[in-house]
Chains A and B, each alone.
Chain A
Amino acid sequence: MSVLKGRPLLLIEDNDFDAGLLVECLRSVGVTNEIHRCADGAAIEKYLAQAKTLNLSQQPVFVFLDLNLPGAEGLKVLERLKAEPSFAAVPVVVLTTSARPNDVDQAYRSGAAGFITKPIDLDKFESMVRQVTNYWFSAVKLPENVTRTKP
């Protein structure tokens, strides 16, 4: 499926393997959108700066955010993202290797749209991706973010 007129997805993940795996799984369930990737805090800053100058069709419509990022606390990045006007309405689904109860609560409070623990087992991982895409890219409508505040 092509989500929302082919607008890109943003993946914030430091682990190359995990990133590659996620992309592959998305492709294998039929997601054809462009997938942007940021691997660390610095990359995020650069991306956000540059995103302001892009036109709407290039703005990400969905974000996968790994909480266990080096050098930048995942929750802080979430807050940072959500503070950005262009991402205020964009769903951010948080991924993590192990779920601290406190993190789960805090993530939702900070504006996460979902919280997923990454299974280590490949088959289970694939099944998780399928469930996510079934829900987010098929069952629900994603925001179009047509109005945005002036940069």
Chain B
Amino acid sequence: MAGTSEERVTSQNVSLDNCDREQIQYSNAIQPHAVLIVIDQRTHEILQLSANAGELRMGSPSQLIGRRFDDLWATELRQQLLDGLTKLTDNTPPRHLATADINGQLRDIFAHSMNGACILELERQSPQANVLQSQLYSNLRNGIAQLNASTSVIEFLNESVGIIARCTGFERVMAYRFQPDGSGEVVAEAVHEGLEHYLGLHYPAADIPKPARRLFSLTWLRHLPDVDYQPIPIVPNLNSITRDTVDLSYAFSRSVSVMYTEYLRNMGVKATMVLTLFKAGRLWGLISCMQHSAPRHLNIEVRGVCEMLAQTISLLMSAKEDAEFASYRASLSHCLERLNNELAMRHSILEALTQGDANILSAIHASGAAVLLDGEIHCFGKTPPEASIEKLAAFIGGKAKEIWSTDMISRDFKIDEETAAHAAGVLAARIGHFETDLLLWFRPEYRQTVDWAGDPSKLVVNSSGRQTRLNPNGSFEVWKSDVLGRAKPWLDSELEFASKLGRGIMEVVLERSRVLTKLNEDLSRSNRELQEFVYTATHDLKTPLRGIAGQTQLVLRRGTERLDEADRKLLQDVVKLALRMDGMIDGLLRYSELGHATLSPEWVDLNEICSQVVDLLQSEIQGKNAEIRIPRPLPRIYCDIRWVSQILLNLVANALKYNDKDSPWIEVGYREAIARSGTRKAQPTVLFVRDNGIGIDKQHLESVFRLFHRLHASDGFGGGAGLGLSIVARAVERHRGRVWLESELGKGTTFYFTLSPETN
């Protein structure tokens, strides 16, 4: 306590900057409504006195110092006082020792001990407050009944301030709650008509500096009967025991900080009383009483009742607050249960989360929410713009945690102002496979939810040229800037809710993908079995055909002499038919394969494929004396090499077959993809096979791709099973491309195709 290297901050040098360190307990002055005496606890020697000790009419301070305290009093009173002094324990609030008439003035005498000294305060009784006496106890009784009956913390606090207003007669009684960051909010108020309302006001933490908070937590009640009092100094300055100024922490008549009185004056307040509200041994809030019209001094009865009320309110309020917490927890829990039910019953996760009475915003205190799943964003309530949500999701997803939260997004992530205001608080839960599958809840900046009904212009502002910051509006402004960008912090019960919900959704997602995987496996198996069947059936169909073709051919060989031309022709036709049927079975097999086989795409050089096709068809090409033209090198295309070979083979073979010209030609080429304006991706390359063949009549253009469809007589143009184009169509389809043709009868045909989907 003594001998710090810093200069002690006292009323002489206190300012807004250092009031945090103001050592109010060393103000070494008191308020005038009491006389203060400091005596040695052992010897009862009078060590220090307040300068107004002369009021006692026992002598001047200088005369009294050094005398024995016991000697001042009449026998009966002395006994009372001495008895009381022996019962004192250090660091406890003052005990009331006696009420006595001291030389014409009724005084209440209090004492407390500290550091080897006893501090006595002899308080003048006030004539004023006796008026309330008769109603005091009935007010109290009724009041407590009401407190018990209240159903919410706010209702409870409203009752509380009402009772205290009735018991004390103060014009304004406020209940003030501290937030975890130390700032305070006026949560209940009983105020006389005509006076400004302070309900909803927020005060920054700095408004009640630490020294003040410490003193608040030592006693239940502090009373300042007259804001404009003249402080009475204590003489002498130093205590001969401690060699220090006396520690007035527990003295109720202690002089207060000038910051405080200035603030009160700026508010037009003439007298105050402040009660402490404790919860679990910690400072929870205050009940602050103010009188605007005149000073007000409450006597000890009323003060005693108020202290008792403060204790009762503290106890009951703890319970109410816990109950409210529990009630919120329970409602979150209930909501969670119902959401889990919905998830189990509904097919769509999004619907389960948002359609019912119990939904992602019905229980939790948030202003907006967003569901990000399967690459889609769905917003509900007040949310930031989608682009911001995407960026936020990427950031949060990168943390790869089950849940993540913040009450001040601007601190964690660079975001635009609008988002920072609407979504200062963010709570995120992972709900799917991807890191960015998230459930997000948003809370706006705290100050946006605050309503202060008060009108700053009506407040009295002390324009002494000094700081005009010391007034409620100034406080509010400071508080507003303190909480800039902050939202109400997320409670543990809310984090738990998010975590459990997230897990519940993930379970559903995983279960569904398990089901999907199983379905896919079943489908693959079923495809394989089907394909097996096709192979077996193919073989079984081909076997007798071999017999038919083979044996007929044998007959033709052996029976050259015995058969005449007609018979020969018949037998040759049998062979042809058998061969054709064999070809059709092969075609069917190929067609079926296309339906079931998995596509294995890769980058394929079409020039190589083309030359392979040309090699395969060499005899037909030479037979027709056809020219294969490839005017410019073909591109590389991402596709399945077997199927693209099949496509080119079939198209070129067809082009060769259906050509009656003397110099047939076939051109294989491509057209570049034209990126349509406004699309992000390029369109696929269009390949084509063009010929100068017989062409196709317009009316038949639609039907050329049909299975087994032939436009010409069975023998015409070398026969053919009619499968070639169906296979081409299916192969193109498997690539999600498109095939189409242009043709002019007698002139030629062009088949176009793509091997990847067009983007719209």
Shortest distance from the beta carbon of A34 to any chain B beta carbon, whole Å:
24
Residues in B with CB closer than 8 Å to A97 are 538-539, 542-543, 546
Are B589 and A120 in contact (CB-based, < 8 A)?
Answer: no
Are B543 and A15 in contact (CB-based, < 8 A)?
Answer: yes
With an 8 A cutoff between CB atoms, is B586 at the interface? yes
Shortest distance from the beta carbon of A73 to any chain B beta carbon, whole Å:
11
Are B579 and A120 in contact (CB-based, < 8 A)?
Answer: yes
Which of the listed residues B543, B557, B586 has the most CB atoms from chain A within 10 Å of its own CB?
B543
Are B589 and A122 in contact (CB-based, < 8 A)?
Answer: no
With an 8 A cutoff between CB atoms, is B59 at the interface? no
Are A98 and B586 in contact (CB-based, < 8 A)?
Answer: yes
Interface-side segment among B255-263, B476-484, B548-556: B548-556
Give the nearest-CB partner of B542 in chain A: A97
Residues in B with CB closer than 8 Å to A21 are 550
Interface residue SS majority, chain B: helix
Within 8 A of B (CB), among A104-131: 118, 120-123, 125
Are A17 and B586 in contact (CB-based, < 8 A)?
Answer: no
With A17-B547, A17-B550 already in contact, the answer to whether A120 and B535 are too (CB < 8 A) is no
With an 8 A cutoff between CB atoms, is B377 at the interface? no
Within 8 A of A (CB), among B705-759: none
How many chain-B residues does the 8 Å CB contact rule pick out?
A: 21
Within 8 A of A (CB), among B565-603: 575, 578-579, 582, 586, 589
Shortest distance from the beta carbon of B242 to any chain A beta carbon, whole Å:
100
With an 8 A cutoff between CB atoms, is A79 at the interface? no
With an 8 A cutoff between CB atoms, is B415 at the interface? no
With an 8 A cutoff between CB atoms, is A45 at the interface? no
With an 8 A cutoff between CB atoms, is B509 at the interface? no
Shortest distance from the beta carbon of A129 to any chain B beta carbon, whole Å:
13
With A120-B579, A120-B582, A121-B579 already in contact, the answer to whether A98 and B551 are too (CB < 8 A) is no
Shortest distance from the beta carbon of A110 to any chain B beta carbon, whole Å:
18
Are A118 and B546 in contact (CB-based, < 8 A)?
Answer: yes
Are B545 and A120 in contact (CB-based, < 8 A)?
Answer: yes
With A98-B586, A98-B589 already in contact, the answer to whether A122 and B542 are too (CB < 8 A) is no
Alpha-carbon distance A21/B542, docked complex (angstroms):
16
Alpha-carbon distance A17/B553, docked complex (angstroms):
12
With an 8 A cutoff between CB atoms, is A100 at the interface? yes
Shortest distance from the beta carbon of B537 to any chain A beta carbon, whole Å:
11
Shortest distance from the beta carbon of A45 to any chain B beta carbon, whole Å:
23
Are A120 and B542 in contact (CB-based, < 8 A)?
Answer: yes
With A98-B586, A98-B589 already in contact, the answer to whether A122 and B539 are too (CB < 8 A) is no
With an 8 A cutoff between CB atoms, is A18 at the interface? yes
Are A120 and B549 in contact (CB-based, < 8 A)?
Answer: yes
With an 8 A cutoff between CB atoms, is A68 at the interface? yes
Which of the listed residues A101, A120, A123 has the most CB atoms from chain B within 10 Å of its own CB?
A120
Across the interface, B535 reaches (CB within 8 A) one of A15, A17, A98, A121, namely A98
With A98-B538, A120-B545, A120-B546 already in contact, the answer to whether A17 and B551 are too (CB < 8 A) is yes
Are A120 and B538 in contact (CB-based, < 8 A)?
Answer: no
Shortest distance from the beta carbon of B395 to any chain A beta carbon, whole Å:
48
Across the interface, B539 reaches (CB within 8 A) one of A68, A101, A120, namely A68
A-B contact pairs, 6 of them (CB 8 A): A15-B543, A15-B547, A17-B547, A21-B550, A120-B582, A121-B575
Besides the contacts A18-B550, A122-B553, what 7 more A-B pairs have beta carbons closer than 8 Å? Answer: A15-B543, A15-B546, A17-B547, A17-B551, A97-B542, A98-B535, A121-B575
Residues of B near any A CB (own CB < 8 A): 535, 538-539, 542-543, 545-547, 549-551, 553-554, 557, 575, 578-579, 582, 586, 589, 642
